[in-house]
């Protein structure tokens, strides 16, 4: 047991999912955990803040390469410094991800407690949840794997459930007890029976245990995965403060969840009830429910207007368009600049089928947003023609794009906000608002923001090929290598 001055619990934030059920807002290029769905902070930021403070160490995070700078930027915005950020070479589900974090934690803090939490959950009462986690700590110190069961308020068929040994008390105090078993996502009749029986809770997929306990569980129930994950961790490379897991052993690991890999096989499982509000925002129906519908059951967000509607969600993401619903009932309508979703509220879970259909058609909107986030800021395409493209580029203070050239296009930059430091071959100059500079085909160039405020410019590209993979990088402060994103 650590002393009172030493943080005891090390949060691990899982932030590698794609969130297809919240399309078109959440996409593979920028999934839901990084979006602001229910407040001013992203779900990831809210999760990091919730698992901080007395009794909690600096968080770890595990994510994909494309999101590594989003993770650091969003943590910096809420003034949280991560203990480590692990980069998965590819998504292999939760079992390898959690095990890799446990191995990394065991190496620097043997026997420390690790709290595994998805980064896309909504838990409004953060203080209550922290208290419940602390109440579970003694069981975790004693070698138990603790999972947290959520008080159900409906016969939900979209969640897994936990079967308890004893029913929770009336006030849902966080008293640990042995977990009797897991229940897969049930049919409606089974869910209703479990809700009425009072001895089942929702499975939140949040776990607390020591790193040593979890490693031992894998050694018993999944030794091949332990060996492969250990090789990926031992072969990891440091990259600008990130830890890149070795790709070859990682690719050979099974794509499997932590539940299937070890939890359902372990005999040292404890469950702690949590009686507060919780949501995994697993679909637009959950967003509607957790956004506080008015007396008619209507939720509006962004520039949207509802007339004579009921049980309806209207959400618009662009100030350039207004979403209007008239006489709608049980409808979800989400408008993005490049895609619109209209669905019956009862079919919210089928949105992922729409994403699959769009991917099969080769539609870019299936996976990519019109705004593309990079470590230096973001850009968005305003107009695309056969041989030209107009972009708006937003560069954060102190950031710089790579030193690069193009085989197939020239560029014209017009600064509209702030000041740009521009390099074109051997010439370096400052370009201020209402000034422009021309980048000839093949010229080696770079733009930087040397100022204290964001720099925004309009870029006009002309040429035979305008793809993002027409970039040759010579130097990059973000070590991205070659390719569209590196």
Does residue 347 sit in the same domain as residue 418? no
Q: Tell me how far apart the alpha carbons of residues 482 and 469 are, in angstroms, rounded to a whole number.
A: 8
Does residue 228 sit in the same domain as residue 351? no
Does residue 315 sit in the same domain as residue 184? no
Count other Cβ atoms within 10 Å, centred on residue 451: 17
Closest residue by Cα to residue 404 from 376, 447, 444: 444
> What pLDDT, on the 0 to 100 scale, is given for residue 158?
87
Q: What is the pLDDT along the chain (486 residues), one digit of tens a residue?
A: 444 444 589 999 999 877 789 999 999 989 999 999 888 899 999 999 999 999 999 999 999 988 998 999 999 999 999 999 999 999 999 999 999 999 999 999 999 999 999 999 999 999 999 999 999 999 999 999 999 999 999 999 989 999 999 999 988 999 999 999 999 999 999 999 999 999 999 999 999 999 999 999 999 999 999 999 999 999 999 988 899 999 999 999 999 999 999 999 999 999 999 999 999 998 999 999 999 999 999 999 999 999 999 999 999 999 999 999 999 999 999 999 999 999 999 999 999 999 999 999 999 999 999 888 888 999 999 999 999 999 999 999 999 999 999 999 999 999 999 999 999 999 999 999 999 999 999 999 999 999 999 999 999 999 999 988 899 999 998 887 665 554
Whether residue 407 lies inside any domain: the answer is yes
SS3 (DSSP) at 415: strand
Residues 6 or more apart whose CB falls under 8 angstroms from that of 342 comprise 331, 332, 333
Beta strand pairing status for 312-316 and 331-335?
Answer: parallel
Whether residue 284 lies inside any domain: the answer is no
Q: Tell me how far apart the alpha carbons of residues 67 and 60 are, in angstroms, rounded to a whole number.
A: 14
Give counts: helices (H), strands (E), the chain. Answer: 11, 28
> What pLDDT, on the 0 to 100 scale, is given for residue 484?
57
Name the one residue in this structure whose structure tokens are 């245990």: 209
How many CA atoms lie less than 13 Å away from 426 in the CB half-sphere? 0
Name the one residue in this structure whose structure tokens are 């070590």: 479
Domain boundary among 361, 392, 408: 361
Label residues 89-127 b or e (16+ Cβ within 10 Å = b).
Answer: beebbbbbbbbbbbbbbbeebeebbbbbbbbbbbbeebe
> What pLDDT, on the 0 to 100 scale, is given for residue 388?
96
Whether residue 4 lies inside any domain: the answer is no
SS3 (DSSP) at 291: coil
Give the pTM: 0.87
Find the CATH number of the domain harbouring 135: 3.90.550.10
> What pLDDT, on the 0 to 100 scale, is given for residue 483?
57
Domain boundary among 274, 300, 318: 274
Residues 6 or more apart whose CB falls under 8 angstroms from that of 427 comprise none
Total domain count for the chain? 3
26 contacts 35 by C-beta, under 8 angstroms: yes
Label residues 213-251 b or e (16+ Cβ within 10 Å = b).
Answer: bbbbbbeeebeebbebbbbbbeebeeeeebbbbbeebbe
> What pLDDT, on the 0 to 100 scale, is given for residue 302?
95
Whether residue 283 lies inside any domain: the answer is no
Whether residue 2 lies inside any domain: the answer is no
Host domain of residue 309: 290-361
Q: Is the dihedral of CA 353, 354, 356, 361 positive or negative?
A: positive
Find the CATH number of the domain harbouring 441: 2.60.120.10
> What pLDDT, on the 0 to 100 scale, is given for residue 134?
95
Does residue 114 sit in the same domain as residue 226? yes
Q: Where are the alpha helices (DSSP H) in 293-391?
A: 351-361
Closest residue by Cα to residue 32 from 279, 245, 343: 279
Does residue 384 sit in the same domain as residue 357? no
CA 429 from centre of chain: 38
SS3 (DSSP) at 84: strand
Does residue 296 sit in the same domain as residue 443? no
């Amino acid at each position: 047991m650590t002393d009172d001055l030493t943080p005891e619990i090390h949060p691990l934030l899982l932030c590698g999912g794609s969130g297809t059920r919240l399309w078109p807002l959440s996409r593979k290029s920028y999934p839901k955990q990084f979006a602001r769905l229910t407040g001013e902070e992203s779900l990831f930021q809210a999760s990091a803040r919730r698992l901080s403070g007395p009794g909690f160490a600096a968080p770890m995070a595990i994510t994909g390469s494309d999101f590594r700078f989003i993770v650091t930027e969003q943590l910096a915005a809420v003034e949280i410094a991560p203990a480590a950020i692990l980069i998965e070479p590819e998504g292999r589900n939760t079992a390898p991800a959690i095990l890799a974090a446990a191995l990394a934690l065991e190496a620097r803090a043997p026997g420390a407690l690790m709290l595994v939490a998805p980064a896309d959950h909504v838990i409004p009462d953060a203080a209550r949840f922290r208290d419940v986690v602390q109440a579970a700590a003694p069981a975790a110190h004693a070698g138990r794997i603790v999972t947290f069961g959520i008080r159900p308020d409906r016969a939900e068929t979209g969640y897994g459930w936990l079967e308890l040994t004893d029913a929770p008390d009336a006030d849902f105090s966080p008293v640990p007890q042995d977990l009797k078993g897991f229940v897969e996502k049930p049919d409606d009749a089974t869910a209703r029976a479990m809700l009425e029986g009072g001895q089942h809770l929702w499975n939140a997929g949040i776990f607390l245990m020591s790193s040593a306990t979890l490693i031992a569980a894998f050694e018993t129930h999944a030794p091949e995965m332990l060996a492969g994950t250990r090789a990926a961790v031992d072969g990891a490379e440091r990259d600008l403060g990130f830890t890149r897991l070795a790709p070859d052993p990682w690719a050979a690991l099974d794509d499997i969840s932590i539940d299937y890999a070890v939890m359902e096989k372990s005999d040292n499982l404890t469950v702690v009830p949590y009686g507060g509000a919780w949501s995994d925002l697993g679909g637009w129906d959950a967003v509607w429910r957790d956004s506080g519908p008015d007396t008619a059951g209507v939720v509006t967000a962004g520039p949207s207007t509802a007339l004579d509607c009921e049980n309806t969600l209207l959400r618009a993401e662009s100030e350039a368009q207004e979403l209007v619903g008239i006489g709608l009932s049980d409808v979800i309508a989400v408008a993005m600049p490049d895609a619109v979703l209209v669905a019956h509220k009862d079919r919210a879970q089928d949105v992922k089928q729409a994403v699959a259909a769009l991917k099969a058609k080769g539609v870019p909107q299936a996976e990519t947003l019109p705004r593309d986030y990079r470590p230096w800021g973001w850009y968005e395409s305003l107009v695309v023609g056969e041989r030209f493209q107009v972009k708006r580029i937003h560069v954060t203070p102190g950031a710089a794009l790579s030193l690069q050239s193009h085989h197939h296009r020239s560029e014209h930059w017009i600064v509209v906000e702030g000041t740009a430091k521009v390099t074109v071959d051997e010439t370096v100059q400052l370009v201020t608002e209402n000034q422009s500079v021309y980048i000839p085909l093949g010229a080696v160039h770079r733009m930087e923001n040397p100022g204290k405020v964001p720099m925004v410019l309009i870029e006009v590209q002309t040429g035979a090929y305008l793809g993002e993979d027409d970039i040759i990088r010579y130097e990059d402060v973000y070590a991205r290598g070659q390719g569209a994103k590196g």
